[in-house]
């Protein structure tokens, strides 16, 4: 099939007529020809969003909520199609893809309800007889730039509250999941939003994305992705509203009094969900030396039983291929670096053979990883569990805060006071206690801590509205 661009309510090919093949990481086969938009296409989409803004922002919150509920209903009706497309295009196991679609549906309905509950305030005035109203206002066209690892829910984290607040949207997805993203865009379009309220442009990030985030008529930019790209977007979009969720290197801390089996189960989810391709992945595991040997043995056993690599469409597969060559090469480099520094591979350790593509990496557990190894200091974004020995809670806190990232951390301990001390001192936006790094409820605030390389603003329920609305003060004399 071929995908097109959605601009001003009309599906159309790219103005230059360019397309590129989309190839499945699971099968290696071409699955679609994807329209390759350019700066002119992006400009046309922004013009359509700007033209639609006055009418959409002038609708009642309840009318916009009905539209978002319709989007949720369309996505639910297309659950099978969306899930299978995500597995084919992204590579995640089909069961994970169904979970993502179900969460996507819930996000549309939640944003609809959050939108009708946006409230202002009536602060006191110093002037006798005056009344002051503070109201939330939509900001205008919002450019949304999203990654390939969660091709449905991550766009919805920004698009849904943006639309609910009265903004119009131009969305450009990661090129490597543009095919399944086009199916989500079609579901949104088929919910009968007014023309131009939602627009969809695929194409190279340095071209389409750059044009959108720097366009003078774009009022806000929502981005989820790598730190390097997020920083480039922040510079390009200077002066606009920004909601940036960037990289993470969140540790999972296991103290000497932890429930080892529970911690090992949490590490399997934290390190191997979505093949480790998540900003909330347990990128490094800080384990107290008193229990490190027990923990590593338990983790390796569970990884073999609960992170089965295989055809992502097959029943029982819990780990699919990586999405692209770059992330697979990064896994190669990080594992090799750890081994060269003296670490020991306990499970996995090299690409799997006998699959349709060379993107299949097994669940990999490495013990004795030095704290300065690439796998401990950078975001690997693959199915790796690097275990680093620690001797105290203070060392865990120091290693957590030594990272330039500040997205999340998790700790397993039976000592609540110690867990709360860790939370007080960890420079991260989220801390999970006796829970996996990958645990998050989508109505809760999520984002990077100030002063780190993990972004600004918060996604999650009503908290995303803070970055996607303006406060207007009206003084009545």
Q: pLDDT digits over 151-167, tens only?
A: 999 999 999 999 999 99
At residue 16, the pLDDT reads 97
Residues taking part in catalysis: 245, 279
Backbone angles phi, psi at 22, to 5 degrees: -100, 125
Q: Which two tokens stand for residue 202?
A: 């695929």
Whether residue 162 is found in the same domain as residue 238: yes
472 dihedral zone (left: phi>0; alpha: psi -120 to 50; beta)? beta
Average pLDDT over residues 261-290: 97
- Residue 446: inside a domain: no
Radius of gyration of the chain (CA): 23
- Residue 451: inside a domain: no
Taken in order 53, 82, 275, 269, is the CA torsion positive or negative? positive
CATH (domain of 434): 3.40.309.10
Whether residue 302 is found in the same domain as residue 374: yes
- Residue 96: inside a domain: yes
Whether residue 389 is found in the same domain as residue 315: yes
- Residue 448: inside a domain: no
Share of the chain above pLDDT 70, in %: 100
Chain segment 408-454, per-residue pLDDT in tens:
999 999 999 999 999 999 999 999 999 999 999 999 999 999 999 99
Whether residue 61 is found in the same domain as residue 94: yes
At residue 1, the pLDDT reads 77
Whether residue 189 is found in the same domain as residue 57: yes
- Residue 102: inside a domain: yes
Query: What is the number of domains present in the chain?
Result: 2
Whether residue 241 is found in the same domain as residue 255: no
- Residue 20: inside a domain: yes
Q: Which SS3 state, helix, strand or coil, does residue 338 take?
A: helix
Whether residue 202 is found in the same domain as residue 258: no
Domain of 255? 251-441
- The H or E element containing residue 385 is strand 384-390
Whether residue 45 is found in the same domain as residue 140: yes
User: Is residue 371's pLDDT more than 90?
Assistant: yes
Whether residue 220 is found in the same domain as residue 298: no
Whether residue 231 is found in the same domain as residue 265: no
- Residue 191: inside a domain: yes
Mean pLDDT of the chain: 98
Q: Which SS3 state, helix, strand or coil, does residue 30 take?
A: strand
Q: Are 388 and 403 in contact (CB under 8 A)?
A: no
Q: Which two tokens stand for residue 398?
A: 């120091």
Whether residue 407 is found in the same domain as residue 344: yes
* Rounded Cα distance, 67 and 48, in Å: 19
Whether residue 275 is found in the same domain as residue 382: yes
* Rounded Cα distance, 178 and 308, in Å: 27
CATH (domain of 130): 3.40.605.10
């Amino acid at each position: 099939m071929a995908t097109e661009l959605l601009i001003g309510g009309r599906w159309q090919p790219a103005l230059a007529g360019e397309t590129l093949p989309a190839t499945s990481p699971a099968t290696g086969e071409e699955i679609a020809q994807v329209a390759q938009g350019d700066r002119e296409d992006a400009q046309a989409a922004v013009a359509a969003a700007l033209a639609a803004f006055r009418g959409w922002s002038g609708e009642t919150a309840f009318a916009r909520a009905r539209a978002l509920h319709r989007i949720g209903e369309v996505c639910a009706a297309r659950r099978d199609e969306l899930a299978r497309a995500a597995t084919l295009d992204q590579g995640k196991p089909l069961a994970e893809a169904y979970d993502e679609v179900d969460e996507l549906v819930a996000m549309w309905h939640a944003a609809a309800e959050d939108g009708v509950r946006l409230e202002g305030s009536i602060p006191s005035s110093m002037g006798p007889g005056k009344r002051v109203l503070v109201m939330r206002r939509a900001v205008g066209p919002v450019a949304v730039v999203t990654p390939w690892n969660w091709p449905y829910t991550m766009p919805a984290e920004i698009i849904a509250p943006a639309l609910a607040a009265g903004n119009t949207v131009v969305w450009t997805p990661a090129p490597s999941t543009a095919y399944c993203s086009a199916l989500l865009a079609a579901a949104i379009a088929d919910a009968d939003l007014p023309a131009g309220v939602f627009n969809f442009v695929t194409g190279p990030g340095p071209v389409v994305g750059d044009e959108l985030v720097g366009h003078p008529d774009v009022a806000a930019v929502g981005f989820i992705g790598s730190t390097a790209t997020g920083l480039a977007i922040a510079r390009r979009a200077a002066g606009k509203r920004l909601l940036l969720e960037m990289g993470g290197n969140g540790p999972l801390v296991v103290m000497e009094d932890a429930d080892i089996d529970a911690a090992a189960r949490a590490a399997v989810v934290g390190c191997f969900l979505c093949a480790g391709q998540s900003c909330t992945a347990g990128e490094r595991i800080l384990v107290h030396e008193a229990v490190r040997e027990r923990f590593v043995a338990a983790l390796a056993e569970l990884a073999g039983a609960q992170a089965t690599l295989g055809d992502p469409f097959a029943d029982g597969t819990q780990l699919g291929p990586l999405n692209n060559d770059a992330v697979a090469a990064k896994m190669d480099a990080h594992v090799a670096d750890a081994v060269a520094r003296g670490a020991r591979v306990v499970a996995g350790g090299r690409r799997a053979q006998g699959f349709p593509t060379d993107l299949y990496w097994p669940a990999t557990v490495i013990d004795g990883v030095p704290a300065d190894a690439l796998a401990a200091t950078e975001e690997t974004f693959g199915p790796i569990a690097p275990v680093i020995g620690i001797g105290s809670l203070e060392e865990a806190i120091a290693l957590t805060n030594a990272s330039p990232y500040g997205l999340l951390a998790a700790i397993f301990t039976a000592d609540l006071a110690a867990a709360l001390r860790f939370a007080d001192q960890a420079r991260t936006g989220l801390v999970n206690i006796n829970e996996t790094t990958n645990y998050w409820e989508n109505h809760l605030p999520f984002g990077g801590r100030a002063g780190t390389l993990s972004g600004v603003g918060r996604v999650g329920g009503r908290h995303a509205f803070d970055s996607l609305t303006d406060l207007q003060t009206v003084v009545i004399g």
